[in-house]
Amino acid sequence: METQFFFKTKVTFLESLLDFFTHKADDHVRISDRGRKILDNRELATKIANAIIKGHATLEKGDSIPIQGTDISINLVTSLENQQQ
Amino acid sequence: MNFAFSAILIIIILLPGAAVLSAYYGSFQSKQSTREIPLVDLLIKGLLWSIFLHTSAICLLSFFKYEVSFDLIYAILTGQPIRISNAQATHAFRTFTTYTGLLIISVWVIVKFCKRIIYNNKFDINYYSLRITNYWYHIFSARYLEGRGVPGTLIMTDFLFLDVYVDTQMIYSGFLTDFNYSPKNDMLENIVLSNATIRKFEHYSVRNQIAGDVLVIPMANIKNINIYYIKVKDNED
């Protein structure tokens, strides 16, 4: 039991050290914890996707779009268009 | 033979400078890494760093009363005839490899440490010369929003929603869940969308849900990408 604890601690420490030097980041794509929960719920994610597509103009103006059947709404943080490099 | 050995020695002498650049701009995570720099370029670009590092290291060693014998290296590089015993050659080889090895390792660790400080303090976002990640990581991780004069912040963003216009005049829309970047070719290879829909460019409102969990779109087919940084909030907020 003690050996296992020692081993686990050591591995965690080494992993942390390796992560530090290899500059590891968990989120290469920005998805917050709340965002992850929403995307895991396929029905809710579909509703949000529909709301974004339908409310394109409203989003551009910076207004909130309520998601029907839920108590949440969405906002545009900002937007940008990128031409292919 | 002497020429080849001299060339190898020069490469080893230039390696600490190359290690600086490689440690700073490279990453084991290909999605974060900047463009891969070939070894020859690293050696040439790191020339000044190598001179600076060797000078600093020699000064530091002499401060602690140590020295690395460079006379044998000088003799090899200048093509002078060498007559030394096996013991002397072994000693010279051992001290030189230890010195170079330790210098490269320490430089690598120090640079990674500095890189972490620069990343955590977001200096790389506002100063292009300090940029340590590729352009697509910068955009898709929402670190772009941390830049000066850019509205919004990374912490405000819950996820990214993309409209992807492809060469068949169709628009794919969906939540960005992953992407793949090739440091060797310095280009985005593909993007991965979930809850994807497809619609024709001319008929914006008529769209079809794509079955399946995720959709992978190769970058070769993509004309442009419209990105929405979305924040979700409760209605009572």
Q: Is the dihedral of CA B215, B177, B160, A44 positive or negative?
A: positive
Q: Does residue A23 or residue A17 have the better pLDDT?
A: A17
Q: Sort residue B119 into left (φ over 0), alpha (ψ -120 to 50) or beta.
A: alpha
| Residues of B in Cβ contact (< 8 Å) with A53 | 173, 197, 204-205, 207
Summarised one tens digit per residue, pLDDT across range B166-214 is 988 889 999 999 899 888 888 899 999 998 999 887 776 677 888 888 8
Residue B91: what pLDDT?
A: 85
For the entire predicted model, the pTM comes to: 0.76
Q: How many CB atoms lie within 10 A of CB B14?
A: 20
Please say if the pLDDT value at position B156 is more than 90.
no
**DSSP-derived secondary structure for A30-62:** ---HHHHHHHHSHHHHHHHHHHHHHTHHHHHHT
B139 — contact with chain A (CB < 8 Å)?
Answer: yes
Task: Identify how many contiguous H helices and E strands chain B contains and give both numbers.
Answer: 7, 6
Chain B residues with CB-CB distance to A24 below 8 A = 28-29
B62-98 pLDDT, tens digit per residue, is 998 888 877 788 888 887 787 888 888 888 888 888 9
Which B residues, 6 through 65, put their C-beta within 8 Å of a C-beta on chain A?
A: 27-29, 31-32
**B71-80: pLDDT as tens digits:** 788 888 887 7
Cβ under 8 Å to B: A residues 12-41: 20-25, 27-32, 34-35, 38-39
Among A64, A32, A65, A60, smallest CA distance to A47 is for A65
What local confidence, expressed as pLDDT, does residue A84 receive? 42
Averaged confidence pLDDT in chain B: 87
A21-63 pLDDT, tens digit each:
655 555 688 898 888 898 888 888 988 888 888 877 677 766 7
CA nearest to A45 within chain B: B195
Q: What pLDDT is recorded for position B167?
A: 85
